[in-house]
């Protein structure tokens, strides 16, 4: 085993140990894991159809056969919420993937090259900060014509700046390290230095931030769907379910309650996990060692 | 001080300039022909050509941008495509409602967040502190539109404590305040969750400083130590982050406006988006950014006022 490998194993083990000892991380992990399981096995977890109307059960209150009740078309709410996990995970995952690609790339370029490129990229992130996110996301999603795909683009387009700032500030300190200087001295190209010597050292904070930004992405996408710009009824997406059931909520409190709870628990799970991960991945934190 | 403010104002010009480029790019990247999308498939060629000329879409993109920029500098945001009204007037008509809602929310958040943050810090890691941190985490994880819906259901529809929706009048009338209370509180409490944690963190740091020990040992009342010596210094970082929170506050206010049918700029924006009123969308996004920029300027000046160590030049 090479020395690098040993070091890597130890670090991973330390991080895992730290995560196991953190109550927030355990709770967050259980929530995230359950949601992923629900998303994958949704059709096998319930005997009801998420889309089929059942006119015998309109606005059926919570009971043993329908733990969360039924909605205005008699569809089992629990079933729809379980299927909603798919949308949450897909939207959250896709948004973060796009944000990572754009945000990390720009952050690496700005931090490594500096000068005028850095000024342009970082001024852009400053300017993005002065447009309220929802205002920009609503405009982008609306102008692109709505739908889940455009919501993903809109939320990704307003959220990448967080990654850029994060990676940029990390690169600024990493590029002064001796090993980067050494790599340059033995004739490594810029691309090799960036990808092999700088990028790996920014990953810890990027991963932790990803968990938190999935939470934000899920919240925003649900908000856009609630406004009518994202998933359209009858899609069992949580935000769209809340918008769709809005007119019935004074007669059937469960329609307004459970999809919101689902969003909250999911967001809480990713937030807990992200916070714990950030602490666990921080090599400066001595706790748990 | 004046020099500092002027300096800050000058920095704003490039920022605003880039905002205008971004805002006009929004329309540029819209797929398809915006005019056809707007008028529908059955629109006649003549109408399409007329609107295209009106929007200047028949001219190169930089000419369009420069013309639009020239108009903005003169305070002319153009006319709404759908309603053919002056956009600036439309926005100014809605602006008071949005400002009322947000300013009320800021006041609520400060009135509640400062004591909660201070108490959490002075009683760090006790039951009260844990309760407030638990509450904060939950509140920021809840979707704003959902809390608003639940509050509307509970307090307006079931308990009849507040009007169902809408703005019943300007803030100085009794009806106006009554209708503002619920949306304002919902928006404000979310900020309490964030700001109280910031103040707690700031206070914890400050309370460990030597001058706090000195203040205590010379026999000052704990109240004076905490509020006069502690809080003022803890407020310095809190004020900056407060400025950074403003876009977030405005973002959530858009959604609160929709849920409560509050006739502000957010409702106008969502309405414009659904009607594909491109010029109106541009105008609203621009004014929202202007609001953020102005508030951040005010926060910067306030920051310099609170912390005399900051040099104005």
| Interval B41-69 mean pLDDT | 79
Residues of B in contact with A245 (CB under 8 A): none
Judge contact between A255 and A245, C-beta under 8 A: yes
CA distance A232 to A244: 9
CA angle B180, B191, A121 (to 5 degrees): 120
The two tokens of residue B236 are 């310095």
| Interval B45-72 mean pLDDT | 80
A162 touches chain B (CB under 8 A): no
- Any residues with CB less than 8 A from the CB of A112 and at least 6 apart, and which? A171, A175, A190, A193, A194, A198
CA distance B179 to B256: 13
Task: Check B31 against A145: CB less than 8 A apart.
Answer: yes
Over residues A256-271, the pLDDT tens digits come to: 899 999 999 999 999 8
Residues of A in contact with B278 (CB under 8 A): 143
CA distance B33 to B138: 44
Cis, bond preceding A224 (omega within 30 deg of 0)? no
pLDDT above 60 for B313: no
Predicted TM-score (pTM) of this structure? 0.87
Closest residue on chain B to A126 (Cα): B15
Task: Check B153 against A223: CB less than 8 A apart.
Answer: no
Tell me which of A142, A162, A222, A242 to substitute to probe the interface with B (most B C-beta atoms closer than 10 Å). Answer: A142
Q: Which of residues 125-144 of A touch B (CB under 8 A)?
A: 126-136, 138-144
- In percent, how much of chain B has pLDDT > 90? 24
Q: Which of residues 249-268 of A touch B (CB under 8 A)?
A: 249-250, 253, 256-257, 259-260, 263-264, 267-268
Sign of CA dihedral B269, B274, B280, B286: positive
CA distance A140 to A258: 29
- What value does the CA radius of gyration of chain A take, rounded to a whole number of Å? 22
pLDDT higher at B56 or B80: B80
Least confident residue range of A7-11, A139-143, A158-162, B235-239: A7-11
Residues of A in contact with B26 (CB under 8 A): 139-140, 143
Q: A173: exposed, middle or buried (C-beta count within 10 Å: 0-12, 13-18, 19+)?
A: exposed
Task: Check A127 against B138: CB less than 8 A apart.
Answer: no
Beta bridge partners of B86: B79
Task: Check A143 against B293: CB less than 8 A apart.
Answer: no
Q: What are phi and psi of B235, to 5 degrees?
A: -70, -25
Residues of B in contact with A242 (CB under 8 A): 145-146, 149
The DSSP result for B73-124, as a single string, is HTT---B-TTT--BHHHHHHHHHHHHHHHHHHHHHHHHHHHHHHHHHHHHTT
Judge contact between B251 and B285, C-beta under 8 A: no
């Amino acid at each position: 085993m090479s020395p690098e490998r040993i070091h890597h194993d130890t670090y991973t083990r330390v991080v895992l140990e730290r995560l196991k000892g953190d109550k927030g991380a355990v709770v967050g992990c259980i929530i995230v894991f359950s949601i992923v399981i629900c998303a994958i096995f949704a059709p096998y977890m319930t005997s009801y159809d998420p889309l089929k109307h059942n006119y015998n059960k309109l606005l059926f209150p919570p009971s043993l056969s329908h733990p969360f009740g039924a909605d205005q078309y008699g569809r089992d709410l629990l079933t729809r919420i379980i299927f909603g996990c798919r949308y949450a995970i897909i939207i959250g995952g896709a948004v973060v993937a796009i944000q990572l690609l754009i945000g990390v790339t720009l952050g690496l370029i700005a931090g490594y090259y500096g000068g005028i490129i850095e000024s342009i990229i970082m001024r852009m992130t400053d300017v993005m900060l002065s447009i309220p996110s929802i205002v920009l996301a609503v405009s982008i999603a609306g102008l692109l014509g709505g739908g889940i795909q455009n919501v993903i683009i809109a939320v990704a387009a307003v959220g990448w700046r967080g990654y850029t700032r994060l990676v940029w500030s990390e690169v600024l300190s990493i590029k002064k390290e001796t090993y980067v200087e050494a790599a340059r001295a033995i004739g490594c190209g810029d691309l090799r230095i960036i990808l092999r010597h700088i990028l790996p050292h920014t990953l810890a904070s990027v991963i932790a931030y990803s968990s938190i930004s999935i939470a934000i992405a899920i919240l925003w996408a649900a908000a856009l769907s609630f406004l009518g710009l994202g998933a359209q009824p009858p899609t069992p997406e949580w935000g769209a379910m809340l918008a769709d059931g809005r007119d019935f909520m004074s007669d059937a409190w469960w329609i307004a309650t459970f999809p919101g709870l689902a969003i909250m628990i999911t967001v809480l799970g990713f937030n807990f996990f992200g916070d714990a991960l950030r602490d666990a991945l921080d090599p400066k934190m001595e706790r748990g060692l | 001080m004046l020099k500092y403010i002027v300096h800050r104002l000058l920095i704003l010009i490039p920022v605003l300039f880039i905002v205008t480029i971004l805002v006009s790019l929004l329309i540029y990247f819209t797929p398809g022909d915006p005019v056809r999308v707007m008028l529908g498939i059955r629109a006649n060629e003549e109408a399409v050509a007329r609107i295209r000329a009106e929007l200047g879409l028949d001219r190169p993109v930089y000419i369009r941008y420069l013309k639009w920029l020239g108009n903005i500098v003169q305070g002319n945001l153009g006319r709404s495509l759908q309603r053919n009204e002056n956009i600036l007037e439309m926005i100014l008509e809605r602006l008071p409602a949005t400002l009322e809602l947000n300013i009320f929310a800021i006041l609520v958040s400060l009135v509640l967040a400062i004591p909660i943050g201070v108490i959490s810090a002075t009683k760090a890691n006790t039951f009260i502190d844990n309760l407030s941190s638990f509450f904060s985490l939950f509140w920021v994880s809840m979707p704003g539109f959902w809390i608003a819906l639940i509050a509307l259901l509970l307090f307006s529809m079931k308990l009849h404590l507040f009007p169902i929706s809408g703005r019943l009048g300007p803030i100085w009338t009794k009806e106006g305040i009554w209708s503002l209370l619920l949306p304002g509180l919902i928006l404000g409490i979310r900020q309490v969750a964030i700001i109280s944690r910031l103040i707690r963190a700031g206070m914890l740091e400050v309370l460990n400083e030597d001058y706090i020990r000195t203040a205590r040992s010379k026999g000052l009342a704990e109240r004076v130590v905490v509020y006069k010596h502690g809080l003022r210094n803890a407020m310095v970082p809190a004020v900056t982050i407060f400025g950074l929170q403003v876009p977030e506050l405005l973002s959530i206010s858009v959604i609160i406006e929709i849920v409560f049918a509050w006739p502000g700029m957010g409702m106008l924006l969502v309405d414009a988006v659904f009607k594909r009123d491109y010029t109106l969308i541009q105008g609203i996004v621009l004014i929202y950014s202007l609001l953020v920029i102005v508030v951040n300027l005010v926060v910067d000046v306030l920051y310099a006022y609170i912390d005399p160590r900051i040099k104005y030049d």
